[in-house]
């Protein structure tokens, strides 16, 4: 029987079209082809007390929960869900994404905990955040923003920081039980399948919007077995490529290892004919570096000139990695102090004022850190320089940057939108008052008065003990 040519060729056309669409999508999300200009939505789907203190202050002052785990445990499942639903519904909404786009940004990094997908037996966490992650992806798509899904907390905690959902400073328990690692893999498989598979019900939305998936935020390499971290990275990467129908960018945090550590990482599985050698550049993998300069007394004692110099050196070191793999500064801030209440954790003071548990001498006064009217002209200028230098250097030497975080309830140093309001964060983002091509052009600048003996080296060593 005669078959019309259009009927005979239709299946081949469909195959060709789907292959072409997949190829185009793969190209659009390649780690080396996208320049990140983003913000993180910290404190929303994973609680951090310093970002939303109003959720924690109603507790008895002697029994304030230190993280989301204890927040849920102390309230119980019904009350915890009630309060978190209100928080999820109100802290971010569609208008925030409109403003993010209006500020010249092109993506958002969204932290989420494993308990949004599945829990361990006995976990006090309440579920429900996954629904709001999906809403965020919709809002991002409507505003032409990309999304980086960030698994910010894993079972047992990968770092012991409150940002993992479970604070146990200095004692990350992620690898202590096989069920912790098994559940991490299981949750990531759900994420890969849901947000990286063309065959799901929201395929077009997810495939065109979710540009990257970070497998775990800030694993504390100095206190973990790095062989196990690398094995986990390799195994979950294999899962991603087998489960995803799109070659999405997979993000590895540097695990607080020295710059260049991941340049020679060769343990990834050869599961694609398109992979021809062992450099990460060919795997669509992005290395995530985080940069803060306030988590040691040495860093806090630096002059503004020293801060600017250390940022320049850091960015250039990342630039040297680019021949091996794309790399991004996935967290940075405007902070020049650790004064923000609960920044170091509930019950912990600040190094800046020499408070317990820190033993350094007092460096300065925190009383007006969130009172803009009390900031001096010199202080405002130095913060603007610090922000401009980071924008300048991260734009020129890395695959881009993501500011932590878009908004908070009370802080200035950590709040992108408030920094825009106070003209510390440039608008547009490429406008400059002081820093041009890595040079401070301020003719009235001084070297400052604080001198640091250890500088950034001390900051790196102490950073592993903070919970951001």
**C-beta neighbour count of 93 within 10 angstroms:** 13
Give ∠ CA 29-35-39 in degrees, rounded to 5.
100
3-state helix, strand, coil in the chain (%, to 5): 40, 10, 45
Give ∠ CA 341-314-465 in degrees, rounded to 5.
35
Residues 6+ apart with CB under 8 A from 201: none
The yes-or-no answer on residue 331 being catalytic is yes
The yes-or-no answer on residue 218 being catalytic is yes
Q: Could you say which of 48, 68, 293, 331 is catalytic?
A: 331
The tokens for 162 are 């409150």
Closest listed residue to residue 391, CA positions, set 318, 312, 290: 312
Q: Which helix (H) or strand (E) holds 383?
A: helix 377-397
Q: Could you say which of 218, 293, 321, 388 is catalytic?
A: 218
CA distance 398 to 213: 19
Query: Residue by residue, what is the 3-state secondary structure of 144-212?
Result: CCEEEEEEEECCCCCCCCHHHCCCCCCCCCHHHCHHHHHHHHHHHHHHHHHHCCCCCCCHHHHHHHEEE
DSSP letters spanning 101-155: HHTT--EEEEEEEGGGT---TT------HHHHHHHHHHHHHHTT-EEEEEEEE-T
Question: Residues 196, 207: contact at Cβ < 8 Å?
Answer: yes
The tokens for 416 are 């992108």
- Residues with catalytic function: 218, 331
């Amino acid at each position: 029987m005669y078959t019309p040519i259009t009927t005979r060729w239709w299946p081949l056309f469909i195959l060709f079209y789907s292959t072409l669409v997949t190829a185009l999508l793969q190209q659009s999300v390649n780690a080396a082809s996208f320049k990140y200009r983003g913000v993180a939505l910290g404190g929303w789907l994973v609680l951090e007390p310093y970002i939303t203190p109003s959720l924690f202050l109603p507790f008895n002052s002697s029994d304030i929960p230190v993280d989301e785990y204890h927040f849920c445990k102390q309230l119980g499942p019904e009350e915890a869900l009630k309060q978190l639903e209100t928080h999820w519904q109100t802290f971010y909404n569609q208008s925030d994404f409109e403003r993010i786009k209006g500020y010249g940004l092109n993506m958002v990094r969204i932290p989420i905990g494993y308990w949004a997908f599945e829990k361990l037996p006995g976990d006090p966490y309440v579920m429900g955040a996954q629904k709001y992650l999906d809403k965020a992806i919709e809002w991002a798509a409507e505003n032409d923003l990309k999304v980086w899904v960030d698994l910010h907390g894993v079972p047992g905690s990968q770092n012991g920081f409150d940002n993992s959902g479970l604070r146990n400073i200095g004692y990350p328990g992620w690898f202590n039980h096989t069920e912790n690692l098994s559940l991490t893999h299981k949750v990531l498989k759900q994420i890969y399948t849901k947000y990286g598979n063309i065959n799901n019900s929201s395929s077009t939305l997810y495939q065109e919007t979710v540009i990257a998936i970070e497998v775990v935020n800030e694993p504390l390499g100095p206190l973990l077995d790095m062989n196990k971290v690398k094995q986990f990275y390799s195994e979950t990467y294999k899962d991603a490529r087998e489960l995803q129908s799109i070659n999405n960018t997979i993000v590895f945090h540097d695990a607080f290892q020295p710059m260049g550590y991941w340049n020679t990482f060769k343990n990834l599985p050869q599961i694609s004919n398109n992979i021809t050698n062992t450099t990460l550049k060919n795997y669509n993998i992005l290395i995530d570096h985080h940069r803060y300069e306030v988590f040691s007394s040495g860093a806090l004692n630096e002059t503004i000139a020293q801060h600017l110099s250390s940022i320049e050196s850091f960015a250039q070191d990342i630039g040297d990695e680019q021949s091996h793999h794309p790399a991004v500064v996935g967290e940075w801030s405007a902070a020049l102090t650790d004064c923000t209440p609960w920044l170091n954790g509930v019950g912990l003071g600040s190094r800046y004022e020499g408070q317990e548990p820190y033993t350094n001498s007092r460096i300065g006064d925190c009383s007006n850190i969130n009172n803009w009217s009390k900031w001096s002209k010199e202080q405002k200028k130095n913060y603007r320089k610090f922000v401009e230098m980071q924008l300048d250097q991260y734009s020129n030497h890395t695959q881009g940057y993501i500011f932590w975080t878009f908004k908070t309830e009370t802080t200035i140093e950590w709040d992108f939108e408030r920094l825009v309001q106070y003209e510390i964060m440039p608008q547009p983002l490429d406008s400059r008052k002081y820093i041009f091509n890595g040079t401070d052009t301020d003719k009235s600048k001084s070297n400052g008065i604080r001198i640091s003996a250890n500088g950034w080296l001390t900051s790196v060593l102490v950073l592993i003990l903070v919970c951001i």
